[in-house]
């Protein structure tokens, strides 16, 4: 095959793969610049091809050019996040890998592969500023009135122990442990299926303890791609990557308070060991920073699958688990404490009476039987949703009948949670779930439905992604 033909094959290959690729020869002349890269950098393929690096990117100092570094210093840079302005002044964030191509100990070319994560970065920035405002509230930096309005509009709730309903002995054991936890600051590890009340427990522990005036912040570890999660948790420092700003991470923002790490098993394995180190040493270092910063944060971590299984399949580091599990709380699923269904249903009827201006006084026996016989894969949240729609649609004025209770088999918690809510009204958890879903869909589409590749791109285990796909009914 001639050189030209090889190039055509290479070009076709990179287009199919969908990655943005830029290859320069040993003299820094661009020999491959594909459409995806052209889209990203807003430089046309024709303008880039055949030109020397300097001609195309005159404004970037050589020392800062990763391609130049690869070519001249044989420096290999993998998965580095970069934020820069493209020629239209639009801020673009990419994850780049740049490698020298070496043949017989000569550098014959350098290749850069980039992935555009601008939208994900924007979303994570929005989460960060939302979190900022929550912790600013705890530091009383936002006037109370303004904060109330903000909270009303964002639907952020605060739970206390008095909000926890249940009398089942196993359930009460969990509550008791949580109450003990609220009197100290040891790490807490909560295991409970989706909708069993992990957030409810975590907030009750925080707001029921000495730290209640300090921030309570939450981060779902499955919602954010690997490359951004570290910055969100530990903060970033100028120079960490081009365009990075100095920003405190959640650990600093939650100082003196509590940080809830939801779905901690979705955190990349390597980051889990960093987290472990932070918990042991109590110092964090911002991404790209060199200073050690002392932090005092209580950690509550949650998982929605059995920790033993998560450890066995390599999703959760055992050493991190033992460190977090100082106080272990196991919230039993609703189907294992069916005796709690009537009191929970009662409470939810009262709640939605008020909300919808209805006057349901009782639940008919047949309706209660129907409620007690269902398995609730979505646990308490699902029961609450069932009662909510029953109350709003009830035919009669004072009695909830079996006909009012509509149980959907094959229910998925998020489908009903998300479809009908307006973003401004959702809780932070719902907001995050929405983002999570958007990010997953986008990546999956970009990867032509390839689950393994999408999981890799998102920095999560395939099984975890599969779990999410099911949860959001994506595939």
Q: Which of 252, 176, 233 is nearest to 208 (CA)?
A: 176
CA 48-49-55 angle, to 5 degrees, is 50
Name the binder of 255 from ligand ATP, Mg ion, none, CB < 5-8 A by kind: none
Give 402-453 as a DSSP string.
GGG--PPTT--HHHHHHHT--GGGS-HHHHHHHHHHHHHHHHHHHTTT-HHH
232 binds, among ligand ATP, Mg ion, none (CB under 5 to 8 A by kind): none
307 binds ligand ATP (CB under 6 A): no
For the window 179-208, what string marks contact with Mg ion as x by the rule CB under 5 A?
-------------------xx---------
**126-132: Cβ within 8 A, 24+ apart:** 127/224, 127/232, 127/431, 127/432, 127/435, 128/232, 128/247, 130/154, 130/428, 130/431, 131/217, 131/219, 131/250, 131/253, 132/253
Cβ at position 287, least distance to Mg ion in Å: 26
194 near ligand ATP (CB under 6 A): yes
Count of residues touching ligand ATP (by CB under 6 A): 18
Q: Is 413 in the site for Mg ion (CB under 5 A)?
A: no
Instruction: With residue 391 as reference, give the H or E element that holds it.
Output: helix 379-393
The total number of residues written for the chain in this structure? 475
Residue 414's binding partner among Mg ion, ligand ATP, none (Cβ under 5 to 8 angstroms by kind) is none
**Rounded distance, CA 236 to CA 269, Å?**
20
- Rounded-to-integer distance, Cα 150 and Cα 164, Å: 25
CB nearer to Mg ion: pick between 198 and 247:
198
Among positions 403-422, residues that touch ligand ATP (CB under 6 A) are 413
Instruction: Considering the complex, state which of residue 98 and residue 304 has its C-beta at the smaller distance from Mg ion.
Output: 304
Q: Is 304 in the site for ligand ATP (CB under 6 A)?
A: yes
List the one residue from 121, 124, 137, 195 that touches ligand ATP (CB under 6 A): 195
For residue 235, the partner it binds in Mg ion, ligand ATP, none, with Cβ less than 5 to 8 A by kind, is none
Closest C-alpha among 470, 462, 473, 443 to residue 18:
443
**Is there binding between residue 219 and ligand ATP (CB under 6 A)?**
no
Residue with tokens 């699902």: 382
Which CB atom, from 116 or from 417, has the smaller least distance to ligand ATP? 417
Report how far residue 97's alpha carbon sits from residue 111's, in angstroms, rounded to the nearest whole number.
8
Cβ proximity to ligand ATP: between 166 and 231 the closer is: 166
Closest CB to ligand ATP among residues 19, 163: 163
At 124 the three-state DSSP class reads helix
CB of 136 to ligand ATP, least distance (A): 24
3-state secondary structure of 34: coil
Residue nearest to ligand ATP (CB): 197
CB of 190 to Mg ion, least distance (A): 9
Least distance in Å: CB of 304 to ligand ATP?
5
What is the per-residue binding string for ligand ATP in 346-385, x denoting contact by CB under 6 A? Answer: ----------------------------------xx--x-
d(CA 302, CA 191): 6
SS3 call for 187: coil
Query: Which residues, including other chains, have CB under 8 Å from residue 432's CB and lie 6 or more apart?
Result: 127, 220, 223
* Among 199, 230, 404, 436, contact with ligand ATP (rule: CB under 6 A): 199
Residues β-bridged to residue 96: 80, 114
* 3-state percent breakdown (helix, strand, coil) of the chain, nearest 5: 50, 20, 30
- Helix 428-446 to helix 118-138 angle (10° resolution) is 170
Q: How far is the CB of 175 from Mg ion (least distance, A)?
A: 17
Q: Rank residues 48 and 433 by Cβ distance to Mg ion and give the closer one.
A: 433
* Binding partner of 166, given ligand ATP, Mg ion, none, CB within 5-8 angstroms per partner class: ligand ATP
Between 62 and 384, name the residue whose CB sits nearer to ligand ATP. Answer: 384
| C-beta neighbour count of 322 within 10 angstroms | 12
User: Which residues contribute to the site for ligand ATP (CB under 6 A)?
Assistant: 163-166, 192, 194-200, 304, 380-381, 384, 413, 429
User: Which residues contribute to the site for Mg ion (CB under 5 A)?
Assistant: 198-199
């Amino acid at each position: 095959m001639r050189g030209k033909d090889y190039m055509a094959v290479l070009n076709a290959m990179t287009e199919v793969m969908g990655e943005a690729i830029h290859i320069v020869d040993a003299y820094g002349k661009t020999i491959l610049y594909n459409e995806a890269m052209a889209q990203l950098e807003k430089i046309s393929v024709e303008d880039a091809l055949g030109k020397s690096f300097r001609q195309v990117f005159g404004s970037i100092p050589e020392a800062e050019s990763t391609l130049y570094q690869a070519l001249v210093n044989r420096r290999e840079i993998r998965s580095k996040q970069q934020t820069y302005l493209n020629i239209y002044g639009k801020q673009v964030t990419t994850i780049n890998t740049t490698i020298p191509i070496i043949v017989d100990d000569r550098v014959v070319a350098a290749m850069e592969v980039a992935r555009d994560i601008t939208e994900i970065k924007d979303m994570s920035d929005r989460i960060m500023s939302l979190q900022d405002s929550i912790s600013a509230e705890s530091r009383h930096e936002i006037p109370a009135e303004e904060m109330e309005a903000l909270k009303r509009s964002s639907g952020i709730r605060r739970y206390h122990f008095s909000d926890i309903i249940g009398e089942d002995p196993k359930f009460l054991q969990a509550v008791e442990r949580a109450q003990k936890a609220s009197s100290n600051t040891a790490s807490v590890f909560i295991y409970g299926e989706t909708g069993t009340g992990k957030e409810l427990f975590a907030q009750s522990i925080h707001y029921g303890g000495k730290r209640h005036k300090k921030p309570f912040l939450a981060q779902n570890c499955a919602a954010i791609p690997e490359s951004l999660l570290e910055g969100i948790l530990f903060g970033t420092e100028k120079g960490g990557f081009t365009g990075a700003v100095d920003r405190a991470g959640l650990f600093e923002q939650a100082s003196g308070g509590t940080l809830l790490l939801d779905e901690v098993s979705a955190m990349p394995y390597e980051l889990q060991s960093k987290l472990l180190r932070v918990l042991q040493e109590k110092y964090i270092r911002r991404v790209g920073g060199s200073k050690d910063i002392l932090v005092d944060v209580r950690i509550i971590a949650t998982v929605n699958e059995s920790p033993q299984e998560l450890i066995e399949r390599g999703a959760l580091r055992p050493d991190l688990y033992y460190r977090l599990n100082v106080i272990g709380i196991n919230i039993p699923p609703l189907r294992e404490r069916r005796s709690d269904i009537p009191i929970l249903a009662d409470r939810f009827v009262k709640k939605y009476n008020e909300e919808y201006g209805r006057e349901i006084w009782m639940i008919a026996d047949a309706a209660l039987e129907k409620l007690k016989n269902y398995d609730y894969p979505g646990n308490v949240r699902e029961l609450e949703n069932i009662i909510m729609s029953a109350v709003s649609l009830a035919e009669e004025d004072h009695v909830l009948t079996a006909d009012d209770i509509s149980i959907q088999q094959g229910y998925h918690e998020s489908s009903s949670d998300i479809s009908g809510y307006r973003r401004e009204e959702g809780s932070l958890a719902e907001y995050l779930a929405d983002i999570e879903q958007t990010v997953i869909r986008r990546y999956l589409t970009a990867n032509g439905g390839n689950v393994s590749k999408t999981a890799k791109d998102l920095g999560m285990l395939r099984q975890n992604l599969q779990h999410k796909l099911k949860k959001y009914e994506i595939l």
